[in-house]
């Protein structure tokens, strides 16, 4: 719960101010919580236990919001994320926080919600039941094609681009619905998903056919949806495009289906769906 603060205290925290902040905990929604002389400051993309240099980007009547500029002291619960795309890809949020601490954060958020919102405090909390698998647990992944690839910071600094800038297949960049982070691997679904992803991406990119553009509403490639059966350990692949009207478009779809059938023995089904609607929703 956000406690009211005096006007004079809040005036010390101004928009644009840079402050050293100790991150106390993670609030519901994922932002870190820090305090400066009684003022609550919510900080994006930080871990509990970190000390960061942060910049105030927004000030409200009883709290402020900030973004981290530099980690001055690392969290004791920090860990190296497995995925090389972590940090830019919007698919995961807490791979850099040890799993035991993730469970503790969730437990505390439930406790606070019951106490502050439900006015329930006399509750016997049992330990949070952990997942038997912290990777490869999803049974569905939805990849998006995009004509504006999210450029990595080292590419921008060196002006050397490792991949085409006008083609991507992956997940949306954090906070940017119009740009896609091109991913080569994902730890959320069974490893066979990565093989499917790379096959579809290579054929689609070499085809010369454009990904669907949400700004101009033109283009062909839209989504790749992969479903994995934990029971049978096989995959259903759903490729979604706009209506194929040329022989090149139809032949490329057939080529993808044929390559998946020949190369990926665990792919039991391939479905090609069509969606010409402007809404960016993975169905056809």
Q: What is the CATH number of the domain that holds 56?
A: 2.40.50.140
pLDDT interval class at 284 (50, 70, 90): low
Best CA proximity match to 106, nearest among 28, 16, 182: 28
Number of domains within the chain: 2
Are 244 and 167 in a shared domain? yes
Rounded Cα gap, residues 169 and 239, in angstroms: 12
Choose the final residue of a domain: 73, 96, 121.
Answer: 73
Are 155 and 65 in a shared domain? no
Going from the C-alpha of 214 to that of each of 80, 227, 236, the distances in angstroms are: 34, 25, 26
The whole-model pTM stands at 0.86
Structural domain for 34, as ranges = 7-73
The pLDDT tens digits for 213-241 are: 999 999 999 999 999 999 999 999 999 99
Between 245 and 7, the more confident residue is 245
Choose the final residue of a domain: 73, 93, 127.
Answer: 73
Are 148 and 267 in a shared domain? yes
Best CA proximity match to 26, nearest among 11, 37, 42, 4: 42
176-182 and 63-73 as β-strands: parallel, antiparallel, unpaired?
Answer: unpaired
The pLDDT tens digits for 124-139 are: 888 889 999 999 999 9
At 233, list the tokens: 């350990």
Average confidence score pLDDT of the chain: 92
In a domain, 269, yes or no: yes
Choose the final residue of a domain: 38, 73, 108.
Answer: 73
CATH number of residue 229's parent domain:
2.40.50.1070
Rounded Cα gap, residues 275 and 165, in angstroms: 24
């Amino acid at each position: 719960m956000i406690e009211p603060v005096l006007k004079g205290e809040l005036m010390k925290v101004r928009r644009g101010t840079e402050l050293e902040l100790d991150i106390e905990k993670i609030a519901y929604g994922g932002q870190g919580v820090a305090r400066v002389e009684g003022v609550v400051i919510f900080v994006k993309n930080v871990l509990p236990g970190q000390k960061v240099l942060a910049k105030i980007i927004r000030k409200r009547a009883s709290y402020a919001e900030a973004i981290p500029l530099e980690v001055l002291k690392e969290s004791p619960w920090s860990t190296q994320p497995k995925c090389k795309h972590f940090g830019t890809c919007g698919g995961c949020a807490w791979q850099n926080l040890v799993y035991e601490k993730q469970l503790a954060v969730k437990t505390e958020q439930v406790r606070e919600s019951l106490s502050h919102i439900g006015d329930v405090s006399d509750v016997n909390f049992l330990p949070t039941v952990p997942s038997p698998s912290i990777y490869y647990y999803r049974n569905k992944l939805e990849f998006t094609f995009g004509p504006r690839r999210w450029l990595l910071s080292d590419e921008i600094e060196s002006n050397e681009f490792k991949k085409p800038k006008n083609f991507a297949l992956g997940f949306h960049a954090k906070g940017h619905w119009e740009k896609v982070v091109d991913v080569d691997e994902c730890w959320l679904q069974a490893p066979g998903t990565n093989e499917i992803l790379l096959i579809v991406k290579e054929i689609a990119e070499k085809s010369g056919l454009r990904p669907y553009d949400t700004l101009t509403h033109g283009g062909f490639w839209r989504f790749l949806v992969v479903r994995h059966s934990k029971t049978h350990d096989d995959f259903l692949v759903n490729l979604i495009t706009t209506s194929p009207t040329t022989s090149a478009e139809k032949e490329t779809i057939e080529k993808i289906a044929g390559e998946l059938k020949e190369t990926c023995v665990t792919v039991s089904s391939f479905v090609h769906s069509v969606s010409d609607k402007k809404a960016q929703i993975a169905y056809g």
